Amino acid sequence: MAKRIIYPLYQLGNPQLRLFRPTFNLTLVRPGKEQPPDTVQFRIPMEMTKFDVRNYLEKIYSVPVAAVRTRIQYCTNKKRNHLNQRVKRPDYKVAYVQLAQQQTFQFPDIFPEKDKKHEEGSVEEMQEKFMEDERQRQKPDPRRGGVTEWFGL
């Protein structure tokens, strides 16, 4: 299914084309620039249109969509690899979706700092302890009051 998909030809009077088992993947991204509170930013495949995005979100995720705007981000073909060949970074399409019903969305922090507690007697715990001891040893003498060893006495 990943090869070039050719959709059936549409002529006036044909029924609406329906896709079962879509292969499109939407990626929610954190906006680079500040966006209004009701705007959600997605990276979508190049073949998708605004109508596709709207139907996708409404039918599969039941998210009420008020407006969709899209743009295509051109990525560089200037970078060169170790063989001096130009390497293209793939282009992608960005969709800005505005939610209906006065809903807001704030991109959450998915990687919060968590205190890792290693189990007793494990290798990681011993390593942590060793690193702590090393750091303590490397600290300058607190009695010198911040003055470095360079100044003798």
Partner 1 sequence: MAAAVASRLTAAICRQFQRVVTVSSHTQPQYATQALSKFHSCQPRQMYDSWWFRSSMNNRALHTSCVRKGLEEFFDLPENWGEQTVKSGAPWTAKQLRVKSNEDLHKLWYVLLKEKNMLLTSEQEAKRQRLPMPSPERLKKVERSMKRLDTVVKEREDALRLLQTGQEKGRPGEWRRNVFGKTFWYRFREHPIPWYLNSRYKRRRFFEPSHVAPYTRLSLEKYLRSKIRKEKRDKRNQKRFAAMFPKKTALA
Residue 13's contacts (CB-CB under 8 Å, 6 or more residues apart) are none
Q: Distance between CA 151 and CA 109 in Å, rounded?
A: 46
Q: Distance between CA 130 and CA 136 in Å, rounded?
A: 10
Q: Which of residues 47-106 bind partner 1 (CB under 8 A)?
A: 57, 59-64, 103, 105
- Is 119 a binding residue for partner 1 by CB under 8 A? The answer is no
Report H helices in 49-114: 50-60
In the complex, the smallest distance separating the C-beta of residue 46 from partner 1, rounded to whole angstroms, is 15
CB of 19 or CB of 126, closer to partner 1 = 19
Amino acid at 100: A
End-to-end CA distance of the chain: 77
- Is 6 a binding residue for partner 1 by CB under 8 A? The answer is yes
- Is 36 a binding residue for partner 1 by CB under 8 A? The answer is no
Which of residues 109, 119, 134, 141 is near partner 1 by CB under 8 A?
Answer: 109
In the complex, the smallest distance separating the C-beta of residue 3 from partner 1, rounded to whole angstroms, is 11
Report H helices in the chain: 50-60, 123-138
Which of residues 18, 21, 139, 143 is near partner 1 by CB under 8 A?
Answer: 21
Q: Distance between CA 105 and CA 85 in Å, rounded?
A: 42
Which of residues 34, 113, 141, 149 is near partner 1 by CB under 8 A?
Answer: 113
Residues lying near partner 1 in the complex (CB under 8 A): 1, 6, 8-9, 11, 20-22, 25-30, 40, 43, 57, 59-64, 103, 105, 108-114, 116
